[in-house]
Amino acid sequence: MQNSTDNNFTLKNTKLILSLFLSFCAIFSFAQDLVNHQGAIQIEVDNLDQFYLIDDAGNITKYNQQGKLLKNYSSKKLGMINSADVTNPLDIQLFYRSYNKIVRIDNELTEKGVIELEKFGIHEASAACYSNDGKAWVFDRVLQRAYKLNERKVHTEGDQLEQAINTTLNPTFMYEGKEWLYLHDNALGIIILDLYGRYYKTIPLIGIKNLQVKDNFLYYYKGDDFFRYRMKVLSEEKIEISPELIDYKIGKKQIFQLTENSVNLRVLE
């Protein structure tokens, strides 16, 4: 009888120790920094889970999934990058709003082309993104249209959106998904266009920031809280994320978190 009691006690202790060990490992893995940095203000993650750190001088540092430094890019002439679309790591697009141009770089972070927006009569682009056919989308806040173009010509001219929604748009975020083109205007929410630049609908998420579109989800901050919005069922849920983040990006199965001094990972539930 004593042996049976001792065995049960030992088994329970073993299970408890194993459980504590696994919990410790999980917590420890969240606490581990993937890479340290100085001065990064933005993080981008491509479809291979390679990540890119960008500082306010326009310097880009590229790392692999394990945090190994791969390449550097710098354009001192142009300075701050307003947005970097790394959807296709072979054709990265850097938008410089002050210079009204998009610079294209390859997977070696070598310049491969420049789209001069003034050349096409686009004088005040407020947002830009990569198009899945290898071109670029831009939104002109004066003309109130989305344009798809490359270095040579405009391929698609969208609707005049001020007429479509009876108000003036000033989006600062743009992203092309599989079926839709997404614009974010702080005052209006998420404006969704089709892939011809025609108005479809508005999701009135007002006062959000740091928006990311991933598959059928929207991720964003609202106040100090972080949320995931399921577009198919129109539902919002709060997600736990590390406090005091400078920026974040959603990878394949995890959140890349940029803090003041490091990048770390958190499992995406």
CA angle in degrees (0–180, nearest 5) for 110-113-114: 120
If phi > 0 it is left, if psi is from -120 to 50 it is alpha, else beta; for residue 257 that is beta
pLDDT at 21: 40
Please say if the pLDDT value at position 77 is more than 90: no
d(CA 60, CA 44): 10
CATH 3.40.50.2000 applies to domain 37-267: no
Q: What are the boundaries of each domain within the chain?
A: 1-31, 37-267
According to DSSP, the residues that pair with 31 across neighbouring strands are none
pTM: 0.86
- Asked which of 61-65, 150-154, 240-244 is least confident by mean pLDDT, the reply is 240-244
The residue with tokens 């893995």 is 29
pLDDT at 3: 53
Quick one: what percent of the chain has pLDDT higher than 90? 81
- Per-residue pLDDT, averaged over 79-99, amounts to 96
Please say if the pLDDT value at position 31 is more than 80: no
Which of residues 106 and 20 earns the better pLDDT score?
Answer: 106
Please say if the pLDDT value at position 72 is more than 80: yes
pLDDT at 244: 80
- Asked which of 58-67, 198-207, 259-268 is least confident by mean pLDDT, the reply is 259-268
Please say if the pLDDT value at position 240 is more than 60: yes
* Residue count (the chain): 269
Q: b/e for 105-136, b at 16 or more Cβ within 10 A?
A: bebebeeeeebebeebebeebbbbbbbeeebb
pLDDT at 10: 52
According to DSSP, the residues that pair with 157 across neighbouring strands are 147
- pLDDT tens digit sequence for 139-182: 999 999 999 999 999 999 999 999 999 999 999 999 999 999 99
If phi > 0 it is left, if psi is from -120 to 50 it is alpha, else beta; for residue 5 that is alpha
For 248, the token pair is: 């974040």
d(CA 137, CA 156): 9
Please say if the pLDDT value at position 29 is more than 90: no
- Per-residue pLDDT, averaged over 199-225, amounts to 95
For 19, the token pair is: 């459980």
